[in-house]
Amino acid sequence: MDFRYKAFFPNAALLMASDLHKPFPPYKPKGKEDYMNPRQLAHFRKMLEEMKRELSQDIDRTVHTMQDEATIFADPNDRASQESDMSLELRNRDRERKLIKKIDETIVRIDAGEYGYCDSCGVEIGLKRLEARPTATLCIDCKTLDEMREKQVAK
């Protein structure tokens, strides 16, 4: 996952399956299945763990890059751009940490048997939506309503 270009995206909780370096194979239901049966839960757990692994690797890489670049430049302009690079890296790292926290919380929901249901109204979030956003806690209707309210507040 490369979050570098999304550093300014305000919603730290947004984690998309399409962010994965390696596309995760989608879930294939065997005929008519119960929603959130053990096989489905195992699928999403694996997907979340894979995302977490990639994020942790990205954090490690950032730390190494920063150590490598910790040269003191004589030119104040170089120093200034180095400083802004570093603060961007730090922001990225902060975002990655938040995403990992979100993944951990989602895995807790799987363990608790709460995964896949809307936090607000209780309906099934749906395989398709979870496949794209495995950390989603709201159904699409509640999410849309939420975003409309946010926009109202922002005005």
- Residues of the shown chain interacting with Zn ion in the complex, contacts defined by CB under 5 A: 118, 120-121, 139, 142
8 A C-beta contact, residue 15 and residue 97: no
SS3 content of the chain, % helix, strand, coil (to 5): 60, 0, 35
Q: Give the alpha-carbon dihedral of 111, 114, 117, 120, to 10 degrees.
A: -130
Angstrom distance (rounded) from CA 94 to CA 82: 18
Nearer to Zn ion, 98 or 129 (CB): 129
CB of 18 to Zn ion, least distance (A): 23
Shortest approach of Zn ion to residue 109 CB, angstroms?
15
CB of 144 to Zn ion, least distance (A): 10
| Residue placing its CB nearer to Zn ion in the complex, 93 or 143 | 143
Q: Which is nearer to Zn ion, 105 or 141 (by Cβ)?
A: 141
